[in-house]
Amino acid sequence: MFLRFVSFVALQLVGGFAGWYAASYIYVTTSALVGVVAGVVLGGVGWFLIDLSRGVRLLRWLRVGDASDVAMRTGLWGEISDRARRLIRAREQLTRDSQNRLQDFLAALQASPNGVVLLDSEGRIEWFNQMAAAHFGFDAQRDMLQHFGNLVRDPGFAAYFSSHDYLSELVMPGRESTPARPVKLSVHLHPYGEGRLLLLSHDVTALEQAEAMRRDFVANVSHEIRTPLTVLGGFVETLQTLPLTDQERERYLALMAQQADRMQTLVSDLLTLSRLEGSPLPGALDWVSIPALMRQLEQDGRALSAVLHPSSDRLHKLEFSCLLDGEIAGSSIELLSAMSNLVNNAIRYTPSGGEIHVRALLLPDARAEFSVSDTGPGIAPEHIPRLTERFYRVDRSRSRDSGGTGLGLAIVKHVSQRHGAELKIESTPGKGSVFTVIFPASRVRSESPSSRQAAGIAVNG
């Protein structure tokens, strides 16, 4: 302000001096006093015009934001422009920081494993992330500001949205849900702001399937155990209350032993599955002799065939071919359990006199293949994808007659996965089935001399 006053006074003094000089020496008819007054007035007007032009320049800069021609560094307008510059810079920096935080926030929402949709007070879409686009089939160019209910036409969601009761979540079918492959989405609305809604979606298909499997597992185990327990209870009551001959007593005791064996087999398979799911993966330093494994399988398979068909003329035609003199890295107990299940299933489900071929060979790409083929009744194509599910049976009555628990192929699948192997199932109704397990080359090697010496020893376990 002081400089502003000094400049005003200085310009008036200059104007007064100029007016006095002009009146005294140029226009002699004019008095010196009039010239001084006129000069002072003109000097004040000139200062005002100069000051006004500086103010106009500053105002134009504030209006249009163009500071290229603003170079005021002194005076009141210079201080105002300087303070305005600093204030604008601070505001711009704050805006940039806010935009950066907004972008970071949006990037975090994009990275969220949940679908996120921002809805206005009318239910129109203001923003959504890629996961929500995948869940609901949204397109950023097409569906922005569209009403969510018009794009997701689900009666359950419509009732949920209109109820305004968002304390709990809604489970609804996903966009790609089909009867064969159901997809379930968990949708939850959260009010925020002035009537806006935050919608979170999550794919709960796996959780729903796991819950369904748990319910089915409990129901199947209860059912499988209840049947032999009921039979055992009936036989025990019969033995306790009725006078029986020795022949009848022996028959009942044999049936009781059969049911007890069935329960023991079921419990053993359940423990095997539990051990497979809870134990570390088999290492690559323990090697199992394939010829020894095949000999053990042949011994157990022929014994089972003889038990199921005591008559020698009704035995299965069993053929075991070991074309691979090598070893597989893994657990001998698990491998014997898996392969025995395949051989036992073929024997149980193939009619008497049928043919069963068990073969182990080395593929051209150094992988090992173990296969079991039979001439049994075969399996319809619609059942094959579900054969490895626990307790899944193509024919329940036939499975019970054969003594199966419905867990054998589930054990085979788990053992195969734990050894990095691939399980293949091929079957033709009326002609038979082929079950093949292919082990990766990294788990197969030619048998060492020490292993050759131990080849005659049966696999432990």
Q: Are residues 287 and 415 both part of a single domain?
A: yes
DSSP 8-state symbol, 286: -
Q: pLDDT at residue 32 above 80?
A: no
Residue 457 has pLDDT above 50, yes or no: no
Mean pLDDT value across residues 63-74? 57
Q: Tell me, yes or no, whether 323 and 247 share the same domain.
A: no
Strands (E) in 51-124, as ranges, are 115-119
Question: Which range has highest mean pLDDT (13-17, 62-66, 341-345, 455-459)?
Answer: 341-345
Q: What percentage of the chain exceeds 70 in pLDDT?
A: 82
Looking at the fold, whether 272 and 296 belong to one and the same domain comes out as no
Which domain CATH number covers 230? 1.10.287.130
Identify whether 105 is part of a domain. Answer: no
Please give the backbone phi and psi of residue 122, each rounded to the nearest 5 degrees, phi first: -95, 0
Same domain as 247, residue 336: no
Residues 324-351 have a mean pLDDT of 91
Q: Give CA–CA dist 144/134, Å, rounded.
A: 15
Phi, psi of 327 (to 5 degrees): -135, 155
pLDDT of residue 459: 42
User: Is 106 part of any domain?
Assistant: no
pLDDT score at 246: 84
Euclidean distance between CA atoms 342 and 99, whole angstroms: 63
The answer on 141 and 27 residing in a single domain is no
Place of tokens 């054998």: 408
Report the CATH number at residue 387. 3.30.565.10
Span 255-270, average pLDDT: 83
306-317 mean pLDDT: 74
Give the pLDDT score at 460.
Answer: 42
Judge if 306 and 365 occupy the same domain: yes
Residue 171 lies in a domain: yes
pLDDT category at 440 given cuts 50, 70, 90 is very high
Q: What separation in angstroms does the CA of 7 have from each of 19, 21, 44, 398?
A: 18, 21, 10, 113
Tell me what the mean pLDDT of segment 99-119 comes to. 86
Residue 293, classified by CB atoms within 10 Å of its CB into exposed (0-12), middle (13-18) or buried (19+), is buried
Rounded mean pLDDT of 395-400?
54
Q: Where does the pLDDT of residue 449 fall: very low under 50, low under 70, confident under 90, or very high at 90 and above?
A: very low
CATH number at residue 135: 3.30.450.20
Q: How far is CA 233 from CA 229, 241, 247, 253, 264, in A?
A: 6, 12, 20, 12, 16
pLDDT band at 79 (very low <50, low <70, confident <90, very high): low
Residues 269, 198 share a domain: no
Instruction: Take residue 350 and report the two structure tokens written for it.
Output: 């193939």
Check whether 116 has a pLDDT greater than 80: yes
Residue 281 has pLDDT above 60, yes or no: yes
Full-prediction pTM beyond 0.75? no
Per the structure, the complete domain to which residue 81 belongs is given by 2-63+70-96
Average pLDDT over residues 338-354: 90
Question: Among 163, 180, 203, where does a domain finish?
Answer: 203
Span 210-247, pLDDT tens digits: 787 777 777 777 777 887 788 888 888 888 888 888 88
Overall number of domains in the chain: 4
Q: Does residue 108 fall inside a structural domain?
A: no
Question: Which of 279, 297, 330 represents a domain boundary (last residue)?
Answer: 279
What is the reported pLDDT for 397?
52
pLDDT of residue 230: 85
Q: Is residue 169 part of a domain?
A: yes
What confidence score (pLDDT) does residue 73 get?
57
- Confirm whether 129 is domain-assigned: yes
Query: Do 284 and 415 sit in the same domain of this protein?
Result: yes
User: pLDDT tens, 197-220?
Assistant: 999 999 988 888 778 777 777 777
Same domain, 16 and 83: yes
Categorize the per-residue pLDDT at 284 as very low, low, confident or very high, splitting at 50, 70 and 90: confident
Any idea which of 72-86, 136-150, 420-434, 447-461 has the lowest mean pLDDT?
447-461
pLDDT score of 30 more than 70? no
Instruction: State the pLDDT at residue 238.
Output: 83
Q: What is the pLDDT of residue 322?
A: 92
374 with 365: CB under 8 angstroms? no
- What is the arrangement of strands in the sheet containing 326-329, beginning at the earlier edge strand? 287-289, 326-329, 444-446
Do residue 318 and residue 458 come from a single domain? Answer: yes
Residues 321, 418 within the same domain: yes
pLDDT at 52 over 50: yes
Give me the pLDDT at residue 313, please: 63
pLDDT exceeds 70 at position 29? no
Cα distance between residue 218 and residue 216, in whole Å = 6
pLDDT above 70: residue 115: yes
Both tokens assigned to 351: 């009619």
Chain segment 140-198, per-residue pLDDT in tens: 888 899 999 889 888 899 999 988 889 889 999 888 777 777 888 999 999 998 889 99
137 has a pLDDT exceeding 70 = yes
pLDDT computed for residue 458 by the predictor: 40
Residue where a domain stops, chosen among 151, 168, 203: 203
Structural domain contains residue 107: no
pLDDT at 456: 47
pLDDT over threshold 60, residue 453: no
Report whether pLDDT(300) > 70: yes
Q: Are residues 36 and 174 in the same domain?
A: no
Mean pLDDT value across the chain: 81
Q: Is the pLDDT of residue 69 over 60?
A: no
Q: What is the pLDDT of residues 366-394, one digit of tens each?
A: 999 999 999 989 998 888 888 888 877 77
Quick check: 28 pLDDT over 50? Answer: yes
d(CA 323, CA 364): 13
Q: Identify whether 102 is part of a domain.
A: no
